[in-house]
Structure 1
Amino acid sequence: KQFHLNEMMSFGKIPREHQKAVGGLLEKLFRCFVGADAALVEVNPLVMTSAGDAIALDAKVSLDENALYRHPEFSKLVDNRDLPKQERAAKDLGLGNFVALDGYVGVIGNGAGLTMSTLDVVAEAGGKPANFLDIGGGANAGVMANAIGVILSDRKVKSLMVNIFGGITRGDEVAKGILAAIDKLGDVKVPIVVRLDGPNAEEGRAILQKAAHPKIIPAATMLDAAAKAVELAKKRKAS
């Protein structure tokens, strides 16, 4: 809107004779920001020519990775070659919210806030998280299986804590994904502590109970899950 541009001109102390040119550039920047689903569009420096034109001499654009599915034309700009092996694998599998850490307790959560809280309770229980992995809302069995596969590819991981508090993530899908990952990976030696709550959580717990896999350990609460995951990890580290 024009009044927004006027406010920015005033705040930036843009001389009146340059306001038309700068305003036109700002309008284009805004359209770029919205149209590209960008997280950041920055121009620095911006110069005025003797002819009165506003020119961006340099710029920085950061794209929102969560919106890349709407922009297939940006795929050629993606370069994951410099990422660590695990992070590159996570990106390739569509697990965008993965960050490798230097601990030994793997962590999977749904939602950034819950996953951050899970890292905190693992640390509070005396352990060190091996990663941050938020599988997001509505994750299905395939996503869960891929997530477990990526985390267990790290030999430093001595236990894995799966902490799901469902909103739109269904507990039965999580359980199926855990079993699918174990089936795909074969001889899983890392204990997987699972806390499920929310939609279809009872069904999910029933699926895991029926499977009776020796490496799947149920937990009633997040604190209970963290304590078990840390205890099991320390036992494996000591052995």
Structure 2
Amino acid sequence: MAGTVLASETAKFAALADRWWDPEGPMKPLHRMNPLRVAWILARLRKAGFAIEGLPLLDVGCGAGIAAEAFARAGARVSAIDAAAETIAAARLHAERAGLAIDYRVGAPEDLVAEGMMFDAITALEVVEHVADRSAFLGALAALCRPGGMLFLSTLNRTAKSFLFAKVGAEYLLRLLPVGTHDWRAFVRPEELARDLRAAGFAVVDSAGMAMDPLSGRWRETPDLSVNYLVAARRV
């Protein structure tokens, strides 16, 4: 299996590890976005018939654990993986202080495939646009997902609107993210992602856009997928 980790992207986010949990720091947009992402995912898991309490869930590209902790608080049995040792160290420390039992590991999804691990639910939030090989990455997630299990992705669409708002606006004008956080050319159109998911053995079952109110900073669900969006897929 081809490696999925892009070293330059790993280094970029590792440098932010010590400020990851600062709600007013460089990860502020993720802190603001997270309640919407997590609620959307939990609702679709319940709709699909999964009980959250004790659910084996893997968070891929977990960073310092913003989403992983939210899923653990909801009752899931969370494992989480990231290629950056610095962010995993920050994640472990924060979870320990919060009294949360999360199995954090340094590595890539193909490492867990080699161990024969499998999960009922997998999340990869704001990750797919940062990997070295999208097809290999989704293939690894498919190998980790039990048949009938669910995969949830959040990413950015490659449109003129996303270039204006998610790249120029967020990084250069509003300074919501550090300059260089995203490469617009790596953004993924929904039809491209759906095609790659099908090839990996998933069927897309739902999607939704996410939009930020520039005044309050709060995020809301929207049918507009032109910038940020979520995808739910079932392993066939």
TM superposition score category, shorter chain reference: 0.3 to 0.5
TM-score by length of 2: 0.34
Larger Rg, first or second structure (1 or 2): 1
Report the structure, 1 or 2, having the larger helix content: 1
| TM-score of the pair, normalised by structure 1 | 0.34
Structure number having the greater strand percentage: 2
